Amino acid sequence: MVEYFDLTKVEEVEGTLNFHLKELNLAPTGYLAEQLESKGFLPEIRVQDFPIRGKKVYYHTLRQRWRVISSGEMISRDWALVAKGSGTPSYE
């Protein structure tokens, strides 16, 4: 996570820890040789994680998107947010 995201804010609100993450502007694997244009961010994803010291934990994640200049294709990095067999996260 630390290779691809900046931690932009941590806040505690009513016993809930909120970690705000913003994806870095680094080309996804397979597109390193392509010329890309940053097109901002996809809508925020909110993922609930395991509690820390009895407090709920949410990751508010902004994912980057790009346009491949040669083809006009819109791309984003493919993130597997849950390891196989670990259950289903709460997305909002």
Domain boundaries, the chain: 5-75
Segment 11-41, tens digit of pLDDT: 999 999 999 999 999 998 889 999 999 999 9
Q: What residues contact 90, with CB distance under 8 A and at least 6 apart?
A: 46, 47, 48
Q: Which of 21-30, 49-58, 77-86 has the lowest mean pLDDT?
A: 77-86
Return the pLDDT at 82.
41
Residue 61 neighbours by CB distance under 10 Å: 20
